[in-house]
Structure 1
């Protein structure tokens, strides 16, 4: 078994889609987990989203900044988007692209994956801005399926995301379908103090 023997390497998955393994150091990961817990105690706690067709998502989510509901953004801002998180998003784009390009996210979606939760293939298409999406992973490892713009099926690539990983997709890859078909329970470092997986995505709505 060679898992962990070789360091995971930075990779460009598709034009504009960059995976940077282990970008967040352990201390910063713990800070983010603590922040996610604190946000969940606020006025808009984690909830399972009910889709227009009546389906219920298995992940639990909350929004910071401009609020998202399927499939639109509201004018209301429930929990303000912290300036430090905006700055982290810009740092992420500098890491991925060499320049943040004036990235000013006004919304963040925080998804919590308890054991058995998954995310179906979808597009992030409610935004009017074509700015990149910044995704940060915490906790359990998962399979991140990165597909194509035309449909939810093949061709797609499966990328393993672990705690601390950064994934950015913009440019030619901004509107591709993507999802999380599988999370591997119990794979997080116990020192993180998290059972399950957290994912934070930062976006510009352009609204």
Structure 2
């Protein structure tokens, strides 16, 4: 997968690190298989409907906590009312491994305890508008894993959706972590490149993005969390 000239690790902004080709094909396939199982339920993969009536072009399924605009809950009241699948220990361990790869073996890495995963599937036409991840009470980093088709990932500033931003190509197996000063940076996906997926990843088409987060909600399930800023359009 790495080829003759593997892409170097890059610090995109303070606290934002891109580690190319981090997840090997066999682990990509394992993660794809798990995501396919979660996509079947108890809460199925769906296009999220935004409060203004817009519909997200990506399809989403959640593990641990259910995300809906703009809060978390244990049950998917906007879908079928079912309780979401539990967050497995192996996925939390994968998140800690990812943080170590991005930041090194430091104490915040050892304390990292993600308790939710948002799993987004992009077909060739799907996009994600610029937004902040602000529903979490915890300021712990977000771990993002890409599998399948390459995408353009736009990583911006913490003040607004506009420039300055940096466009990064995320390919299958790539890791992107953002925390610290970049934790609440605006980011989005303006483009997916159809036909770039390696079947060895377990994805013959489309892009799978798995983001791991600490909600900071503990055992609460009553929606007591930050509310994010409204998204500008239905492509979130």
User: Normalising to structure 2: TM-score of the pair?
Assistant: 0.84
- The structural deviation recorded for 1:7 is 2.4
Give me the whole-angstrom Cα distance separating, in 1, the residues matched to 2:198 and 2:102: 25
SS in 2 for 1:85: helix
1:153 to 152, 162, 165: 162
Q: Is the 8 A contact 2:145 2:176 kept in 1?
A: yes
Give me the whole-angstrom Cα distance separating, in 1, the residues matched to 2:201 and 2:154: 25
1:201 aligned residue: 211
2:233 aligned residue: none
CA RMSD after TM alignment: 1.2
SS in 1 for 2:31: helix
Give me the whole-angstrom Cα distance separating, in 2, the residues matched to 1:36 and 1:121: 24
- The structural deviation recorded for 1:75 is 4.0
SS in 1 for 2:96: helix
SS in 2 for 1:39: helix
1:99-141 CA-partner distances (Å, limit 9, x unpaired): 3140111110000001100100000001110000000000000
1:173 maps to 2:172: no
1:70 aligned residue: 69
2:124 to 85, 91, 115: 115
User: Normalising to structure 1: TM-score of the pair?
Assistant: 0.95
Q: How many aligned positions are there?
A: 204
Divergent runs of 4+, >3 A: none
2:79 aligned residue: none
Gaps (5+ residues) in structure 1? Answer: none
Give me the whole-angstrom Cα distance separating, in 1, the residues matched to 2:25 and 2:200: 9
Give me the whole-angstrom Cα distance separating, in 1, the residues matched to 2:41 and 2:74: 19
Gaps (5+ residues) in structure 2? Answer: 76-82, 218-236
Q: Is the 8 A contact 2:140 2:214 kept in 1?
A: yes
Query: Going by fraction, where is strand more abundant, 1 or 2?
Result: 1
SS in 1 for 2:26: helix
- The structural deviation recorded for 1:38 is 1.1
- The structural deviation recorded for 1:18 is 0.5
1:130 aligned residue: 139
1:163 maps to 2:169: no
